[in-house]
Amino acid sequence: MLTGSNPSSSSEDKLFPQKYTLQIKGRLLTLDKPKIMGILNLTPDSFYESSRVNTLGSILSKSRQMISEGADFLDLGGYSTRPGATDISIQEEIDRVAPAIEIIRYEFPHIPLSVDTFRSKVALEAVNAGATLVNDISAGELDPDMLPTIARLGVPYIAMHMKGNPQNMQSLSDYSDICVEILHYFAEKVDLFTKLGIKDVIIDPGFGFAKTTEQNFFLLKNLRSFEIFGLPLLVGISRKSMIYKTLQSSAAEALNGTTALNMVALMQGANLLRVHDVKEAKETINLYEQLYP
């Protein structure tokens, strides 16, 4: 069931994202303009085949390309979270992400690196290897040690909304009021983060995670609802099924649709775009800023 309404304003300044800061290894990063997070999938089974990098050479090459095209962050994941993805051991996930983080940190010491994991042990090893953010699809739901670990590490934390896990989430898309339920979810999470001393938090509505195509579009239309928390907002819709199923195409053919919806996300207040295609996302932001200088 979809209910609620889209907050709006006639004032042009409502089209600008709010300004936030992140403390990253003692350096203050200002989110005064939309930023780009480039996706590096260190997996053999991520849903978009061209995003997979499985050798140190290809990892460095892809990192160099994304940074040159304008990536502000790189997000490395060693566990595929596509619907129905195969479960792997914690050690296998660590073995995928830790060496990649080390080599990128050595070659590109100034780029903030995010590890995409819901496991506290992976987060710990990744930060020890040089990661500076943790991106958790479960916001601490899948590992009770995750939030205490983040609090101890003192790194920025991306908390996403999801129900269930990657193996069963697509069967858990029933909501009485999707906006109200997700807002309530984040209200409880933000309160918990504050109590634990987790200071730098980014929220992600979780497009495609336990949500139907219709629900994904409804959330995108109502994205400004999440500004109530006063936290930076990450949007990850790059090449997802909400795009290619709507267009009756494929992930490989979903770049144009991704670009179109990334512009919508920016106009709805997104602060970070998590993308496979950095050049096109950077051009989208440039055009957005030309519209609203």
- What is the 3-state composition of the chain as percent helix, strand, coil, each rounded to the nearest 5? 45, 15, 40
Long-range contacts of 44-48 (CB under 8 A, 24+ apart): 45/80, 45/82, 45/85, 45/86, 46/77, 46/80, 46/82, 47/80, 47/82, 47/239, 47/240, 47/241, 47/251, 48/238, 48/239, 48/251, 48/252, 48/276
Calpha distance 243→240 (Å, rounded):
6
Q: What is the DSSP letter of 61?
A: H
Instruction: Specify the residue for token string 């996300």.
Output: 265
Hey, which bits of the chain come out as E strands? Answer: 20-24, 27-31, 35-41, 73-77, 113-116, 133-136, 157-160, 201-204, 234-235, 272-275
**Helix 90-107 with 120-129: angle, nearest 10 deg:** 20
Q: Which residues are catalytic?
A: 240, 274
